[in-house]
Structure 1
Amino acid sequence: MKKWYNKLFLNDIRRAIDDYNMIKENEKIIVGLSGGKDSTLLLFALDLLSKYSHKSFEVIGVHLNCGFDMNIRPLSEFCENRDVKLHIEETNIVEYLDFESNKNPCYLCARLRRGALSRVAKEMQVSKIALGHHMDDAVETFFMNMLYNGKLGSFHPKVYEEEKGVYTIRPLVYVKEKNIMKITEILQLPVIESNCPKDGCTSRQESKNLVNFLENEYPDVREKVVTALSNIDMKNIWKQRRDCW
């Protein structure tokens, strides 16, 4: 394993796994593979850790065919070359999405994909699903929640969904998107372009633009937001109570 892997991404992934106790010995973990750079790097990194870290675990790739007519052959070859199992789940998710109305279909699409992954995990008797959300995603979600919903918070690095009996883990939460892009280019990881008509035209893209703007004045804005999410000043968070008067 190359030494620069540690500095650029593996140390951050190990730290996230340790901070939130994401992976245990002898577990099976499915990685949701969209074909994009984030999930492909996640599979690559977890496969490395499964072979070279002190913990022994198995990684299985799962790609959901949502009906967007994507050529996933490069992804299949990548998994085959790394001796990683790849399961392709056929779905009709695209049939439930309305791209013509003013409503954003991304939320429904994400829910349907999440449900399909949970179903596959149950069928495989796997209790952990790893998703490729990185530091930028966490920060953008924070601003989306605040600006569009008036709510403080972001997704959690590790969450248990009791009704589905599965954990969702996000080992890339400390890895910046620009590092993922750099690694993808250096290692020539396969990246499959999305055929979704809403790609790049969502409220998330607006939040991404905002974070990039803030970075000009506050270069460490991403790190500060991620730190703030686990460093909450509860005494100064407003909490309304009926008996406060």
Structure 2
Amino acid sequence: MARELLPYQIAERSIIKKYRKQLWNPFIAAVKRYALVEPGDKIAVCISGGKDSMLMAKLFQELHRHSDVPFEVIYLVMDPGYNEMNRAKIESNAKLLNIPITIFETDIFDVANNADEHPCYLCARMRRGHLYRKAKDLGCNKIALGHHLNDVIETTVMAMFYSSQLQGMMPKLHSQNFEGMELIRPMYCIREDDIIAWRRYNELSFIQCACRFTENCTICDNGGGGSKRQEVKILLRHLKQTNPDIEKSIFNAIHAVCTETFPGIRKSDGDHSFLEDYEARRGE
């Protein structure tokens, strides 16, 4: 008689079996392509409680179990001031999925929500800083965030439409404020629709938006309200109806940027014009 599997075992098997092509393979592809996990790493897998970070934790468990690369991992949950329902939901999901989380508390929501201007920007910066600091205190050299392929392409489009610049989301970054620390995005090549499919297949529900400004949509499939990201998400969804490969095209485009065809380039040392080396490239 076959042994009945527990929910976390079913979730793990679905990653390796049913959704191997959609989840496991692109996860491994990102880890290898961008050199995200290296020997001796101690990685803080940052869990917000949403579908993306919870799946990322399960992917890391599988990687840690089977990888030939020696590394350590901590599943880190920062409580920025969740209400009791959200905190309980994160803890119960972690138990259900057999994820051994380490929780630490902050007052980020109190500080950000009392800010006169740009509370969301302040909240995001504070979250990142607290995660870096706690991870470093725990001996980690990297933090892993659950941004996926759709986050990458939406960020690119948003920057062009609303910030007047062509700017992407990098798969890994050196921290500017915490020496020796890096941020990695191991779900960089995974589509959001496939994450949702995995969640639904396993009949899981996660918190979506835990901010006190929008607590009326804490547990749902979609969020964003009237945000610019949601506008871009809807636009891309419409464009996908006539061009099914549009997500792939945008993603590939940020890996093949032809800088010599742009009149202006922004680098770490400032803005540069094509005129700087225009004559030097005569006859090319």
TM-score normalised by L of structure 1: 0.90
Q: Matched residues in 1 for 2:174 and 2:202: separation? A: 33
1:38 alignment partner, SS class: helix
- The 8 Å contact of residues 153 and 250 in structure 2, kept in 1 or not, is answered as yes
Q: 1:170 aligns with which of 185, 188, 193?
A: 185
Contact 2:58 2:99 in 1 (8 A): no
Classify the secondary structure of the residue corresponding to 2:74: strand
User: Which range moved further: 73-82 or 234-243?
Assistant: 73-82
Aligned partner of residue 72 in structure 1, secondary structure: helix
Contact 2:48 2:77 in 1 (8 A): yes
Structure 2 alignment gaps of length 5 or more: 1-12, 215-222, 265-272, 280-284
Aligned counterparts, 1:87-236, within 5 A: 87-98=102-113, 104-165=118-179, 166-196=181-211, 197-198=213-214, 200-201=224-225, 202-236=227-261
Query: 2:242 is paired with a residue of what secondary structure?
Result: coil
| Partners of 1:40 and 1:189 within 8 A in 2 | no
User: Does the aligned pair in 2 maintain the 1:97–1:105 contact within 8 Å?
Assistant: yes
Change in CA separation of 1:77 and 1:211 when aligned onto 2, cut-off 3 Å: same
CA contact (8 A) 2:78 2:103 kept: yes
Q: Name the CA distance, whole Å, in 1 between partners of 2:193 and 2:18.
A: 16
Amino acid across the alignment from 1:184:
R
Contact kept in structure 2, 1:135 and 1:175, CA below 8 Å: yes
Larger radius of gyration: 2
What residue number does 2:46 align with? 32
CA offset at residue 83 of structure 1? 5.3
Q: Counterpart of 2:106 in structure 1: which amino acid?
A: T
Shift of 1:40: 0.5
Q: Among the aligned pairs, what percent are the same residue?
A: 32
Contact 1:31–1:60 under 8 Å retained in 2? yes
Partner Cα distance (1:98, 1:77) in 2: 27
C-alpha distance in structure 2 between counterparts of 1:105 and 1:210, whole Å: 26
One-letter amino acid of the counterpart of residue 195, structure 1:
A
1:229 shift after superposition: 0.8
When the two chains are superposed, the root-mean-square deviation of aligned CA atoms in Å is: 2.3
* 2:38 is equivalent to residue 13 of structure 1: no
- For residue 91 of structure 2, what is the amino acid of its counterpart? S
Which structure exhibits the higher relative contact order, with contacts defined as CA atoms closer than 8 Å and separated by 6 or more residues? 1
1:213 shift after superposition? 1.8
Gap regions ≥5 residues in structure 1: none
TM-score of the two chains, using structure 2 as the length reference: 0.78
Whether the 8 Å CA contact 2:42–2:140 is kept in 1: the answer is yes
Judged with a 3 Å threshold, the aligned counterparts in structure 2 of structure 1 residues 100 and 115 are, in CA distance, closer, same or farther, namely closer
CA gap of 1:99–1:216, structure 2 versus 1, over 3 A, is: farther
**CA 1:16–1:185: 2 relative to 1, 3 Å:** same
Following the alignment from structure 2 to structure 1, what is the Cα–Cα distance between the partners of residues 170 and 148?
A: 11
Structure 1, residues 80-105: CA drift from partner, whole Å, max 9, x if none?
4665431212111112224897x553
